[in-house]
């Protein structure tokens, strides 16, 4: 399967600060990446779809000004949680659509964010 990396793997920050999470496709160029969030003991919820060279599309209820997504290259998408608050503490995971296997998404290892 495709190889996706995320950095950092975990981060602790103070309330009000901004945190940037990177998602990299290591083995091929991904025109589309997805960002998910998982709260403890809950399912993965799609936040937004990141398209290379264009604006991300956000799911209903996700604030685009709070969760800034940039997909400036075919191998890198970033999610910035702006002015983070304790309720933003969650597990953030990116995924990419595998070339030649459009039906399958491969996921990164995730980033655990804890906002104090």
Partner 1 sequence: DQQVKQNSPSLSVQEGRISILNCDYTNSMFDYFLWYKKYPAEGPTFLISISSIKDKNEDGRFTVFLNKSAKHLSLHIVPSQPGDSAVYFCAARFLGKLIFGTGTRLQVFP
- Binding partner 1 (rule: CB under 8 A), the pick from 19, 75, 108, 115 is 108
Answer for the pair 14, 73: CB distance below 8 angstroms, yes or no: no
Tell me if 100 contacts partner 1 by CB under 8 A.
no
Q: Is 110 in the site for partner 1 (CB under 8 A)?
A: yes
Q: Which of 46, 72, 114, 116 binds partner 1 (CB under 8 A)?
A: 46
- Quick note: the x/- pattern for partner 1 over 63-92, rule CB under 8 A, is ----------------------------x-
Look-up: residue for tokens 């602790």?
Answer: 12
C-alpha–C-alpha distance, residues 79 and 64, integer Å: 11
* Enclosing H/E stretch for 6: strand 4-7
Kindly state whether residue 1 participates in binding partner 1, applying the rule CB under 8 A: yes
What are the beta bridge partners of residue 38? Answer: 44, 91
């Amino acid at each position: 399967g495709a190889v996706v990396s995320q950095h950092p793997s975990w981060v602790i920050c103070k309330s009000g600060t901004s945190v940037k999470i990177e998602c990299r496709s290591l083995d091929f160029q991904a025109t589309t990446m997805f960002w998910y969030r998982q709260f403890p003991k809950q399912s993965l919820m799609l936040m937004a779809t990141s398209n290379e060279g264009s604006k991300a599309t956000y799911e209903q209820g996700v604030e685009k000004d709070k969760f800034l997504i940039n997909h400036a290259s075919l191998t890198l998408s970033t999610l910035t949680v702006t002015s983070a608050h304790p309720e933003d503490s969650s597990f953030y995971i990116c995924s990419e659509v595998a070339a030649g296997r459009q039906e399958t998404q491969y996921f990164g290892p995730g980033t655990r964010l804890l906002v104090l």
